[in-house]
Amino acid sequence: MTSYGMAKASRNTALTVLLGALALSACSSKAPPPPPPPTLNVSVVTVEAREVALTTQLPGRTSAYRIAEIRPQVNGLIQKRLFSEGADVKAGQPLYQIDPAPFQAALENARAALARAEANLPSTKARAERYGELLVDKAVSPQDHDDAVAAQKQAEADIAAWKAQVESARINLAYTRITAPISGRIGKSSVTEGAIVTAYQPVALASIQQLDPIYVDVPQSTSDLLRLKKRIADGGLRHDDADRNKVALILEDGSRYADGGNLQFRDVSVDPSTGSVILRMVFPNPKGQLLPEMFVRAEVREGVHDRAILVPQQGVMRNPKGEPYVMVVDGENKVDMRMLTLEREIGDQWLVAGGLAVGDRVIVEGLQTLQMLRPGTPVKVKAQPFQAGILAQGGQTASAK
């Protein structure tokens, strides 16, 4: 082999060695495969069926238990107003005094006429008796006897008529003193002393409202009424007879009224403009805290749900369509998605009408890694159970707003 050939072979060998070293270097610098993602820790709530008292909050207004509009029953001039506006009055308490002088004179006149008629009665009665005796002996004609009897009866009728006149005058005189027909709180007076009033005038002199107890009237839609009746008929709700008609009240500022009330009746007529019926409740109002036409919310008891399913609100999410769903952990500790049917909000939980069963484990903490909690993702359930807020302890009350 010539020297040229030997040099060429030597160059080829060196190139081969260099390429092999470069390849080996490249292989040695390649990154190792990434480790598997860590198993996520989540907190769950195990679904249980529990007994829940369901209530409904219905907006309404208060109204007076009784209202009396004060109107005069005779014509006359107001002499005195005998009450303070806005005060509490008792039944029978004098309110106004109408000038009694003309009515007193009418009473005296009727009494005098009655006395005159009573004075004529003995003589006419005696004449009729004498004529009756003489008629037997034919000493008087039958016509004279009939006239005497008629005169007696007319005198008796005059007495009865004047007695009625005396009683009427006495009643009118009593009407000059206008009294309160009911106990309650009286409002402002529409007249003052010196005003002329007429019997049964259209404008009331004042109004009295009985505020203890007080009514609360609330509308309930017929659709809710039919739904409630259907659930009771299907056995989904049961009534506790002892508390069936008990009602609570929430005031305008959100505070609860101290005294409970009773559902008195549910109207049978439907308002065609609103499609609702009126529920009337009665509440005690000893301190006068409730005033007529005050806006309130009545909490009406629907019944008791024996197997209600509740889940914390923080565990319920919604898809882009607004449909609610939860993530649950199955028996293999993998994530699964459940679409829900929600009925109502109860405190910090949802009452679930469909989508969950007793024993399901709903994820309530760890949802911040939602992108990783796809169905099938393995998770690790924390040993410490999640506390379901204010409803984690027995006795629940649900309300629909």
The pLDDT score that the predictor gives to residue 400 is: 47
The pLDDT score that the predictor gives to residue 367 is: 56
The pLDDT score that the predictor gives to residue 297 is: 93
- Contact between 376 and 325 under an 8 Å Cβ cutoff? The reply is no
CA distance 299 to 279: 12
296 or 29: which leads in pLDDT:
296
Q: Same topology for domains 55-65+210-304 and 72-98+176-203, yes or no?
A: no
Question: At 77, is the pLDDT very low, low, confident or very high (cuts 50, 70, 90)?
Answer: very high
Residue 391 has pLDDT above 60, yes or no: no
38 or 203: which leads in pLDDT:
203
Where exactly are the structural domains of the chain?
41-54+306-400, 55-65+210-304, 72-98+176-203, 100-174
Q: Helices 101-136 and 142-175 sit at what angle, rounded to 10 degrees?
A: 160
Residue 398 has pLDDT above 70, yes or no: no
For residue range 90-107, list pLDDT tens digits in order: 999 999 999 999 999 999
The pLDDT score that the predictor gives to residue 401 is: 45
Options 1.10.10.410, 1.10.357.10, 1.10.287.470, 3.40.630.30; which CATH number does 100-174 get? 1.10.287.470
Assign domain 55-65+210-304 to its CATH architecture. Beta Barrel (2.40)
User: Does CATH place domain 41-54+306-400 in 2.40.420.20?
Assistant: yes
The pLDDT score that the predictor gives to residue 129 is: 82
For residue range 222-253, list pLDDT tens digits in order: 887 777 677 666 666 666 666 667 889 999 99
Residue 296 has pLDDT above 80, yes or no: yes
The pLDDT score that the predictor gives to residue 377 is: 80
For residue range 17-27, list pLDDT tens digits in order: 555 555 555 55
The pLDDT score that the predictor gives to residue 347 is: 81
- Contact between 338 and 355 under an 8 Å Cβ cutoff? The reply is yes
- Mean pLDDT across 73-89: 94
User: Picking from 109-113, 278-282, 306-310, 390-394, which range would have the lowest pLDDT averaged per residue?
Assistant: 390-394
Residue 3 has pLDDT above 60, yes or no: no
Fold (topology level) of 72-98+176-203 = OB fold (Dihydrolipoamide Acetyltransferase, E2P) (2.40.50)
CA distance 186 to 206: 7
Q: For the beta carbon of residue 145, count every other beta carbon within 10 angstroms.
A: 19
Which structure tokens are listed for 69?
A: 């509009």
The pLDDT score that the predictor gives to residue 76 is: 95
CA distance 400 to 121: 80
Count CA atoms within 13 Å of residue 68 on its CB side.
20
36 or 329: which leads in pLDDT:
329
For residue range 33-75, list pLDDT tens digits in order: 666 566 778 888 888 888 887 788 889 999 999 999 999 999 9
Q: For the beta carbon of residue 60, count every other beta carbon within 10 angstroms.
A: 21
Average pLDDT over the chain, rounded to whole?
82
The pLDDT score that the predictor gives to residue 48 is: 87
Question: At 369, is the pLDDT very low, low, confident or very high (cuts 50, 70, 90)?
Answer: low
> How far are the Cα atoms of 55, 128, 372 from residue 396, in angstroms, in the given order?
10, 91, 35
- Mean pLDDT across 143-160: 88
